[in-house]
Amino acid sequence: MAERAAPLHPPVYLDHHASTPVDPRVIEAMCEAMRTLPANPNSVEHALGRQAAAAIDVARIEVASLVGGEAQDIHFTASASDAIRKALELAIAQRGELRVAAMPVEHPAMIHALRALERQGLATVHWLQVDACAQLCRASLDAALAEGLDLVCMMAANNEVGTVYPVEEVLNACLENGVLTLVDATQAAGRIDLHPVTPLADYLVLSGHKIYGPKGIGVLNAPGSGAAVAEVFAQAGTPNVPAIIGLGVACRIAGEERVAECAHAQKLRDRLEAGLRASLDQLVVNGDLQRRLPHSLHVSIPGVTNDAMLARVSHQLALSTGAACASGAQEPSHVLRSMGLGDELADSALRLSVGRFNTEQDVDRAVQILVGAARAILSARQEHHLC
Ligand code: PLP
């Protein structure tokens, strides 16, 4: 059988909101853990078990130091989604049936978990208002606080349009009102300094695969949750030692390199945005341009549906039309709907996110591919209209 020729260039990866490639230093640490730490960390009767448990303790310190928490409050979970569910269980253990406020632009992991609690009669959810940039309308939170709440759930940064939220301000308002808080820092970790945020939050979650660590590992920071934590984690199973160690190393690198990495990302993102703007007059940039993650670029190109764009570029560029979990669906994402984006902008929305290993050449190639495809689609459309 004839072999397919290898592509001249591998696809440019611009989908870091969905997942980040694992840093080679993390891979190295994970391989080392698999080679040298054979024991179950719960088998503390013997030295090898204690060695594995000690390696987990080091990872806990590394995570705590990235987020500005205490090592004993760090609990490892199967994912950020799992951490969110566990945080909600802890809040119920503390307060009983919950009156919750959350933004409609939260990640589906949060929205589904809250809806499930509503169905079980364990929570009522007040959906807060957001504006056309997906930014929180503060007055809607104040009104909900005045009515009485048990828990506010809030992402620190949005996974689709990159909008960054005033979490510190919100957490302080919740503290004043005796309201518990759950911060989804999955997209913010390693991009925003969480040190002022974590000490104010009752629960904070993040995920390994958004910070150049492995998939299938997350974190719940839950200070002062005491005995309830043991109950919620009772069925957690044997800890995934290599993944936990990989996550620890990913957190250490993210902490040490965050400032330089954000500068690198922002430079590339701005280059990408400028390149697209220079060639596509109709380009619209979505989200809160004043408060945006440095690696995030969410655009619409009116007249160029994202289906048509993907059909042309998906073998050369890894990008998405929405959140990874929502893409594949024909519907515009819940985030774009909440922002009130019109059909034309929603149908042509593209989520691009640069990362640690991207280069200027990657960005220039992406611009060339996207502009070429957009022009081809627009001119085919024009010809079709002329016929
Ligand atoms: N929260 C946000 C903001 C996310 O972006 C994601 C993943 O896309 C999640 C939660 C879920 O993370 P995980 O894949 O670890 O469950």
Q: Is 13 helix (H, G, I), strand (E, B) or coil?
A: strand
Most ligand 1 atoms within 8 A of CB, residue of 16, 82, 154, 186 to mutate: 186
Range of the domain at 361: 12-19+258-386
Q: d(Cα 290, Cα 20) in Å, to the nearest integer?
A: 24
3-state secondary structure of 268: helix
**336 and 267 together in one domain:** yes
**Reduced to 3 states, what is the DSSP secondary structure of residue 126?**
strand
The b-or-e profile of 105-143 (16+ CB within 10 A means b, else e) is: bbbbbbbebbeebeeeebbebebbbbeebbbbeeebbee
Residues lining ligand 1, CB < 6 A?
79-81, 107, 109, 155, 159, 184, 186-187, 207, 218
For the CA of 207, the closest atom of ligand 1 is: 15
The reported pLDDT for the residue numbered 9 is 81
Indicate if 177 and 92 belong to the same structural domain. yes
Q: Is residue 4 part of a domain?
A: no
Of 210, 228, 255, which residue is a domain's last?
A: 255
Query: Which residue, judged by its Cα, is nearest atom 7 of ligand 1?
Result: 18
CA distance 339 to 303: 20
φ, ψ of residue 325 in degrees (nearest 5): -75, -30
Please tell me the distance between residue 107's alpha carbon and the centre of ligand 1 in angstroms: 7
| Active-site residue, selected from the candidate residues 153, 174, 262, 325 | 325
61 three-class SS: helix
| 309 Cα to the center of ligand 1, angstroms | 25
Does residue 2 form part of some domain? no
Rounded CA-CA distance 202/198 in Å is 8
Same domain, 125 and 169: yes
Residues of the chain with pLDDT below 70 are 1-8, 322-330, 386-387
The reply to whether 98 and 247 lie within a common domain is yes
Which pLDDT score, from 0 to 100, does residue 325 have? 45
Total domains in the fold of the chain? 2
Residues 159 and 175 in one domain: yes
pLDDT attached to residue 2: 55
Catalytic site includes residue 325: yes
Q: For 148-184, how does the pLDDT look when each residue is reduced to its tens digit (9 = 90+)?
A: 999 999 999 999 999 999 999 999 999 999 999 999 9
The CATH number of residue 48's host domain is 3.40.640.10
The CA 79 to ligand 1 mean position distance, Å, reads: 8
Structural domain ending residue among the three candidates 238, 255, 272? 255
Question: Are 318 and 244 part of one and the same domain?
Answer: no
For residue 1, being part of any structural domain is answered with no
Q: Give 333 Cα–ligand 1 centroid separation in angstroms.
A: 15
The pick from 84, 106, 107 for probing ligand 1's pocket by mutation, whose C-beta has the most ligand atoms within 8 angstroms, reads 107
Do 121 and 146 lie in one domain? The reply is yes
Q: Which pLDDT score, from 0 to 100, does residue 324 have?
A: 44
Last residue in a domain, options 255, 270, 287 = 255
pLDDT for 224 equals 82
pLDDT tens string 25-75: 999 999 999 999 999 999 999 999 999 999 999 999 999 999 999 999 999
Radius of gyration for the chain, computed over Cα atoms and rounded to the nearest angstrom:
22
Q: To test ligand 1's pocket by mutation, which of 85, 182, 210, 295 has the most ligand atoms within 8 angstroms of CB?
A: 210
Residues 54 and 202 in one domain: yes
CA distance 229 to 301: 47
- Tell me how far apart the alpha carbons of residues 37 and 344 are, in angstroms, rounded to a whole number: 54
Residue 323: inside a domain: yes
Say if residue 199 is exposed, middle or buried (CB neighbours under 10 Å; 0-12, 13-18, 19+).
middle
**How much distance in Å is there from the Cα of 259 to the middle of ligand 1?**
23
Residue with tokens 């957009």: 374
pLDDT value for 214? 98
Given strand 296-300, what is the order of strands in its sheet?
284-286, 296-300, 349-353
Q: What is the CATH number of the domain that holds 288?
A: 3.90.1150.10
